[in-house]
Amino acid sequence: MTLVKSKSGGVNILTFDIEDWFHTHQNRHQYSGHIWQKLPSKIVSNTVRILDMLDRHELKATFFILGWVAKYYPEVVSMIHAKGHETGAHSYWHHSPQRLSHADFEKDLKLCLDTIQDITGEKVTAYRAPGFNLNPKDTWAFEILAAHGIKTDSSVQLVHIPKSIPLILKNRNYEIAEFPLVTTSFGFPYSGGGYFRVLPSVYVNYLFKQYKYHLLYFHPRDFDPDYPFINLFSFFRNQLNRFNTDRCMDKLEVVLEQYPTITLKEATKLSDTKNP
Ligand SMILES: [Zn+2]
């Protein structure tokens, strides 16, 4: 496996991280995940909004699902799976791997995988770390991921597009196909989440034209026009979280019409076919 290239000379992978509006990293250290159950969830309606949009465009995508969401809202996993989308894991408690001991990282991963797999009946082989917080040098994490059946990862942020996509991360204990999030040379990601919402469309279009590989990543909350205001976050963070959520879906649909997207699984197959 070396270089993935579609006929248009690029590859665009569409992914969603399925977590609720309060599952952000901001101020995460100030509260325990155990309060999540007390907050009003919007995960079902916000995920349905995404699934309806994908149906309209006849697209399939990769969904990295938070184990906590799978546990308390299993219908979200069932809906995604029933529509034929790819299901991946996004940890159980949404901790950055860098803040966990190796043993706790493994425990969290296993809990996430078991929760999702019990619903779909299918093995999960794709993983994304919260906050794209893995580095190719985190061999300990990739060893744990591979030991639990993960074959494809999308947790690494790079400033330049590597010569080959996927990046093959391996040592004698693992081989994982890495589909990294590539940022601009200034170091900010433009292909999803808050940056995509905040940046002007003209600039987003310019960046999409500049690069041949795009990893699109969104959350259900990015498209919620009624994003709740909460005192867990600062005033500024509240404003940022809610900024342009009423326009983000339209903005994404314009991009999707110009840049056909595929799932991680399809991207892996494409690279296998082209480089047997
Ligand atoms: Zn996340």
Asked if residue 124 belongs to a domain, the reply is yes
Asked if residue 223 belongs to a domain, the reply is yes
Q: How far is the CA of 192 from the centre of ligand 1 (A)?
A: 12
Asked if residue 2 belongs to a domain, the reply is no
Asked if residue 246 belongs to a domain, the reply is yes
Statement: residue 113 has pLDDT above 50:
yes
Question: 202, 222, 200: which is closest to 210 by C-alpha?
Answer: 202
Q: How far is the CA of 175 from the centre of ligand 1 (A)?
A: 24
For position 234, what pLDDT does the model report? 84
Q: Name, in order, each residue with C-beta under 8 angstroms of 276's C-beta and a sequence gap of 6 or more.
A: none
User: Residues 63-92: what's their mean pLDDT?
Assistant: 98
Residue whose entry in the numeric block shows the structure tokens 């969401």: 69
Statement: residue 274 has pLDDT above 60:
no
Statement: residue 167 has pLDDT above 50:
yes
* Pairwise CA distance, residues 258 & 207, whole Å: 13
Residue 212's CB is within 10 A of a number of other CB atoms, namely 15
Q: Are strands 11-18 and 126-127 parallel, antiparallel or unpaired?
A: unpaired
CATH of the domain at 113: 3.20.20.370
For position 3, what pLDDT does the model report? 42
For position 2, what pLDDT does the model report? 43
Asked if residue 6 belongs to a domain, the reply is no
Q: How far is the CA of 131 from the centre of ligand 1 (A)?
A: 6
Asked if residue 33 belongs to a domain, the reply is yes
Q: How far is the CA of 16 from the centre of ligand 1 (A)?
A: 9
Burial of 97: CB neighbours in 10 Å, binned 0-12, 13-18, 19+: buried
Statement: residue 6 has pLDDT above 50:
no
For position 91, what pLDDT does the model report? 97
Tell me the β-bridge partners of 126.
152
Which run of H or E residues covers position 20?
none
Asked if residue 3 belongs to a domain, the reply is no
Q: How far is the CA of 160 from the centre of ligand 1 (A)?
A: 22
Q: How far is the CA of 18 from the centre of ligand 1 (A)?
A: 7
| Domain around 26 | 11-274
pLDDT in tens, 122-162: 999 999 999 999 999 999 999 999 999 999 999 999 998 88
Q: Are 159 and 185 in contact (CB under 8 A)?
A: yes
For position 158, what pLDDT does the model report? 94
User: Based on the structure, what is the number of domains in the chain?
Assistant: 1
Statement: residue 5 has pLDDT above 70:
no
Residue 129's CB is within 10 A of a number of other CB atoms, namely 26
Q: How far is the CA of 5 from the centre of ligand 1 (A)?
A: 28
pLDDT in tens, 208-265: 998 889 999 999 999 999 988 888 888 888 888 889 999 999 999 999 999 999 999 9
Asked if residue 5 belongs to a domain, the reply is no
Q: Are strands 167-171 and 174-178 parallel, antiparallel or unpaired?
A: antiparallel
User: Residues 153-175: what's their mean pLDDT?
Assistant: 93
pLDDT in tens, 17-65: 999 999 987 666 666 788 899 899 999 999 999 999 999 999 999 999 9
Q: How far is the CA of 17 from the centre of ligand 1 (A)?
A: 6
Residue 234's CB is within 10 A of a number of other CB atoms, namely 11
